[in-house]
Amino acid sequence: MVVNAAEQRRPVPASRRWVVGITGASGAPYGVKLCKELLAAGIHVHLVVSDAGWRVLKEELGWDASRRQEALASAFEGALQAGSMTYHPLNDIGASIASGSFRAEGMVIIPCSMGSLSAIANGASTNLLTRAADVMLKEGRPLLLVPRETPLSAIHLENMLKLARLGVRIIPAMPAFYNGPQTIEDIVAFLVGKVMDSMGIPHNLFKRWGESDE
């Protein structure tokens, strides 16, 4: 569990809490960037990562998945000066975010694997990540999924349509080029900015279409 000392001294209102899930789809930089931006905005992040998600963090970002607490503390050290984070192990079924009585503004799964998406679409709460998503659905709270897969099968599409009809925001990890990205970081920032737009959290991660150069 990684918690800023400030969080231990004062409770955080539900409007400043977001649950973030990272699963085993390619796109770990998206999830890490979102967490950093939320922390910088003073949000308390409740983070849960699937086992496959840890594997992708290792492969794509070089994290030491065998030392998870240390990896998280190192990755978010600077950002924790503004916000705070609680890390929940995947199999901790007694965690706060597993209950609808625990108030949070909503949940984002970024990236979201097709396996996790399928479990959520079919109510299969087999671990804390999918249970937390199920809580968002049953409590009528915002749930945002960032699927990262290509090509998509009919099963994938049907599961996404089913969730979209339930009010889940589906935000595919698709880059845009009208803002003139120059680096991989620019592409990651654009997608994370689109997610934060859907969360209703202000940011300056990309230049919007029609904005003046001045």
The reply to whether 194 sits in an annotated binding site is yes
107 is in an annotated binding site: no
pLDDT at 15: 64
Instruction: Give the pLDDT confidence score for residue 212 in this predicted structure.
Output: 63
Any known ligand binding at 99?
A: no
Is 26 labeled as ligand-binding?
A: yes
Q: How would you write the pLDDT of the chain (214 residues) with one tens digit per residue?
A: 565 544 454 567 666 899 999 999 999 999 999 999 999 999 999 999 999 999 999 999 999 989 998 999 899 988 887 789 999 999 999 999 999 999 999 999 999 999 999 999 999 999 999 999 999 999 999 999 999 999 999 999 999 999 999 999 999 999 999 888 999 999 999 999 999 999 999 999 888 887 765 5
Residue 188 near residue 29 (C-beta atoms within 8 A): yes
Q: Going by C-beta distance under 8 Å and a sequence separation of 6 or more, which residues neighbour residue 97?
A: 19, 46, 48, 88, 104, 128, 132, 135
Please state whether beta strands 44-49 and 84-88 pair in parallel, antiparallel, or not at all (unpaired): parallel
Residue 116 known to bind ligand: yes
CA–CA dist 77, 19 (Å, integer): 19
Long-range contacts of 152-161 (CB under 8 A, 24+ apart): 155/118, 156/114, 156/117, 159/114, 159/117, 159/118, 159/121, 159/122, 160/117, 160/121
Distance CA 34, CA 165 (A): 25
Residue 148 counted as an annotated binding residue? yes
The reply, when asked if residue 62 is annotated as ligand binding, is: no
114 carries a ligand binding annotation: yes
Q: Is 90 in contact with 49 (CB distance < 8 Å)?
A: yes
What is the pLDDT at residue 6? 45
d(CA 48, CA 79): 18
All structural domains of the chain, each given as residue ranges with its CATH number in brackets, are 5-199 (3.40.50.1950)
For residue 50, say whether it is annotated as part of any ligand binding site. yes
Q: Is 113 annotated as a binding residue?
A: yes
Q: Give the per-residue pLDDT at 36.
A: 95
> Would you state the pLDDT for residue 5?
43
Phi-psi region of 54 (alpha: psi -120 to 50; beta: other; left: phi over 0): alpha
